[in-house]
Structure 1
Amino acid sequence: MLFHSSHALRCLSRSQTRLGLSTGSRRCLATPATKFFTETEKENAKILEAASTKVDLFNAAQQPKDDLTVDESIQRAKVQKDIGPLADVYTTYSKTRKTLREMFEMEVDELNEQLDSAIGQLPNLLLPPSETGPLPVMMSINAGVGGSEAGLFAEEMARMYTRFAEKHGWKIEVLSKTEGPNGRGVREMTMKMEPAPYSEGEVYGLLRWERGVHRVQRVPQTETQGRVHTSTITIVVMPIYPDAPEAPLVDPKDVKSEVMRSRGAGGQHVNKTESAVRLTHLPTGISVSMQDSRSQHQNRAWAWDVLRARLSERKHQEEIEAKRANRRSQVKGADRGDKIRTYNFPQDRLSDHRIALNITGLRDIMDSDGLENVIAALRTDFNARRLEAILAGDEDFDE
């Protein structure tokens, strides 16, 4: 609903020379002649200010300027690409506001809906595009405390993530798998997931929330007295960063390669050929062994995949910790934790302890359909904290 205000929104004074841009303008979201604002505009004044500032940069980047350096040209192109969607929506907002000002008595309800819709899209568009979201991942699922029940739960979780990946059309490759005693359950399983060729998909952007300790509470099939047992599994999700030609992630000269005979439960191929491979990154001491394939070549390729993922995750963590040092007071909510989630089967409830989320319907979640809702809630919380940091003038964090 529109209301009449005796005070116009405060004027914005800006002058940007960065990236070869110079706006040097004073702008107001309203003038004395336009004292009508919607409740949505009043509630989102900071977001409108932030959007207006970025649109100024976008508009300035559109203006011709002689004698630009190569770096300035590249930065201008980046500004146009990153802020373009925001500028489009803000233009819709501005045009709608102008029309609303002129015609609000005739079409106020319809125009208010358009105005609110445009403003509602601004928060997400203010967030810089995620650089890590589209990356493929290496996921490792490991049974923790709880004996065979932990192994059975690890197997169920691996099945859930596999179904989730299949529904998103991702490519899945199982790199290693160690079964539990008597072939029941899974002690350890490592998978590589990536978008299918010629397609887009936020693999790490969706699975990043799954890393940590998952706890299950239920009555095992072997429990005769109906007692609830608690077991845990640990899930590691590592984004796979591409090697930069100017700064390769790993120098092959720093990696010690060893071949050995496979070790296993037996069989005609075990201990007869040296097909197992172990790679050790000497500067960090990180070691990876792979023996699931009968082919030494395949084991070597998989070992390199895992080693690169672990090294890239190490590098990424170092960068994150450097950023966290500047924003310790703001790190809360859906960051990495210890026991991040509990699956309580007797109560048919999933609890995510990072955002105090409680959802019923475990069967739907374990079939992977309900997992979408859990991830959506975590992403909403994360983006809200990112937006809060940006509006406060702090550095954005995209982990």
Structure 2
Amino acid sequence: MVPPSPLQTFPEVSRPPQGVALRVPARMIMDKRSSRYDQAAVQTSDTESNVEAAKIRRQLKPLAETWERYRRLLQSIEDLKSHYANENDPELRSMLLEEQTDLISQLDTIVTDDLPGLLLPPHPAAELPVIISINAGVGGSEAALFVQDLSRMYQRYAEEKGWKGEILSQTEGAGAKGGGGLRECTIKFEKPPFLEEQEVYGRLKWESGVHRVQRVPLTETQGRVHTSTAAVVILPIYPDLPDAPLVDPKDVKTEVMRSRGAGGQHVNKTESAVRLTHLPTGITVSMQDSRSQHQNRAWAWEILRARLSERKHAEEVEARRSTRRSQVKSSGRSDKIRTYNFPQDRVTDHRIGLSLTGIQNVLDGPGLDLLLDALDTDLQHRRLQSLLEDDEDIEE
């Protein structure tokens, strides 16, 4: 049975805001999972059942230990309740209140910091490298400048994390060279082998969607604020398995052609550009940034594999969602996920209603962590709530 909550014991104490809403769901979930741990301790004569029981206990042991620690904290608060009721000394009563506040803080730490890692496994693609595609939306040349801003933001963020970045393609916007921004930019990010536990896709997956910027363009003579957009797509790069390749080469049509655009005498003289078409889905990838047909082909295949694997994952997730009794709100790719308001020096993430001041800190990279941390926390809370309601995790 779940122990009764003692948190109403001392009305004088102001409850810490973190973890309050999740205390009851967390206790119920931990109690249910710990019961499975205890049940698995009952040995049977069936060898196969013994193996399965041992596996369950091994998986649930950290959670059972955390639940026991949580129960001890609850019991300590119950003991304080008794002492407080029988204590008349104001100084001692104040000490009891202070101790209770500390114990409640420890409860919330278990709920907000420890429990998610025990109950909520990371996304299966969390540690995979990614391909980021940024494309200008409405706003003309200002949208192209915004694409350039976002490209720099992600590259600076990756540099802070120690990731390797590689620009696969980019198309300059109109205007003087280097001053017209970028119409599109595609970048690959991956972590070095020594950063084993760092998440790349798990961290950047939140960036998929439409980003909006509000500012006064340099060419605006009346001081009016213009609104422009850029679309960001984050694709994890799944490895090709020998027994289950992501793409069957027989399903892909390959075309080579002469490059167009910048490139000097090389342009239109050698067939270095490559276009791949996946016939079953119609997905097309073109690449011409390198003067090497071999390099363009390799990059095009990498992007095609990423797009097809993401499509497959999205279809699998949607199929599982459609079978549930109740749908859980998703913070996936909405039409507008974030606004960068320069006149107010404010960045707002519309999925969780969070606004931060200091746009430049976000665009420089470090400030982006604050937004991503908040999005991760929101997802953890919703996943815990889903586990309580349906005993089933939600997926993003």
Q: Note closer, same or farther for the CA distance 1:268–1:341 as it changes in structure 2 (3 Å cut).
A: same
Q: Note closer, same or farther for the CA distance 1:166–1:257 as it changes in structure 2 (3 Å cut).
A: same
TM-score by length of 2: 0.82
Task: Find 2:116's aligned residue among 111, 118, 124.
Answer: 124
Mean CA deviation greater in 290-299 or 332-341: 332-341
Q: Note closer, same or farther for the CA distance 1:351–1:272 as it changes in structure 2 (3 Å cut).
A: same
Task: Find 2:55's aligned residue among 77, 88, 94.
Answer: 77
The whole-number CA distance in structure 1 between the counterparts of 2:43 and 2:100 is: 35
Please say if residues 333 and 354 of structure 1, whose CA atoms lie closer than 8 Å, have aligned partners that are also in contact: no
2:66 aligns with 89
Task: Find 2:228's aligned residue among 212, 226, 231.
Answer: 231
TM-superposed CA distance for 1:275, in Å, is: 1.9
- Aligned sequence identity (%): 53
Task: Find 1:48's aligned residue among 24, 27, 38.
Answer: 27
TM-superposed CA distance for 1:163, in Å, is: 0.9
The whole-number CA distance in structure 2 between the counterparts of 1:268 and 1:236 is: 33
Task: Find 2:146's aligned residue among 137, 148, 153.
Answer: 153
Please say if residues 215 and 343 of structure 1, whose CA atoms lie closer than 8 Å, have aligned partners that are also in contact: yes
The whole-number CA distance in structure 2 between the counterparts of 1:191 and 1:312 is: 18
Please say if residues 328 and 394 of structure 2, whose CA atoms lie closer than 8 Å, have aligned partners that are also in contact: no
The whole-number CA distance in structure 2 between the counterparts of 1:161 and 1:234 is: 14
Give the count of matched residue pairs. Answer: 366
Please say if residues 349 and 358 of structure 1, whose CA atoms lie closer than 8 Å, have aligned partners that are also in contact: yes
1:5 aligns with none
Task: Find 1:296's aligned residue among 293, 297, 307.
Answer: 293
Report Cα offsets for 1:113-162 as digits up to 9, x if no partner: 34641453234245321223223221100011111111111001110011
Mean CA deviation greater in 220-229 or 98-107: 98-107
Please tell me whether residue 179 in structure 1 is matched to residue 154 in structure 2.
Answer: no
Mean CA deviation greater in 121-130 or 203-212: 121-130
TM-superposed CA distance for 1:57, in Å, is: 2.5
TM-score by length of 1: 0.82
Please tell me whether residue 268 in structure 1 is matched to residue 265 in structure 2.
Answer: yes
Please say if residues 44 and 50 of structure 2, whose CA atoms lie closer than 8 Å, have aligned partners that are also in contact: no
Please say if residues 160 and 368 of structure 1, whose CA atoms lie closer than 8 Å, have aligned partners that are also in contact: yes
Gaps of 5+ in 2: 9-14, 84-91
TM-superposed CA distance for 1:358, in Å, is: 1.9
The whole-number CA distance in structure 2 between the counterparts of 1:48 and 1:134 is: 30
The whole-number CA distance in structure 2 between the counterparts of 1:190 and 1:42 is: 42
Report Cα offsets for 1:95-122 as digits up to 9, x if no partner: 4456666787499654773464145323
Q: Note closer, same or farther for the CA distance 1:63–1:286 as it changes in structure 2 (3 Å cut).
A: same
TM-superposed CA distance for 1:59, in Å, is: 4.3
**Mapping of 1:309-388 within 5 angstroms?**
309-326=306-323, 330-332=327-329, 334-388=331-385
The whole-number CA distance in structure 1 between the counterparts of 2:53 and 2:233 is: 36
The whole-number CA distance in structure 2 between the counterparts of 1:358 and 1:291 is: 39
Please tell me whether residue 113 in structure 1 is matched to residue 106 in structure 2.
Answer: no
TM-superposed CA distance for 1:359, in Å, is: 1.8
Q: What letter matches 1:187 in structure 2?
A: R
Secondary structure of 2:264's counterpart equals coil
Q: What letter matches 2:66 in structure 1?
A: V
Please say if residues 277 and 299 of structure 1, whose CA atoms lie closer than 8 Å, have aligned partners that are also in contact: yes
RMSD: 2.9
Report Cα offsets for 1:297-330 as digits up to 9, x if no partner: 2111111110010001110111122133245964
Please say if residues 163 and 368 of structure 1, whose CA atoms lie closer than 8 Å, have aligned partners that are also in contact: yes
Q: Note closer, same or farther for the CA distance 1:338–1:100 as it changes in structure 2 (3 Å cut).
A: closer
Secondary structure of 2:47's counterpart equals coil
Report Cα offsets for 1:184-213 as digits up to 9, x if no partner: 211111111122213221212221111111
Secondary structure of 1:37's counterpart equals coil
TM-superposed CA distance for 1:75, in Å, is: 8.0
Please say if residues 28 and 388 of structure 2, whose CA atoms lie closer than 8 Å, have aligned partners that are also in contact: no
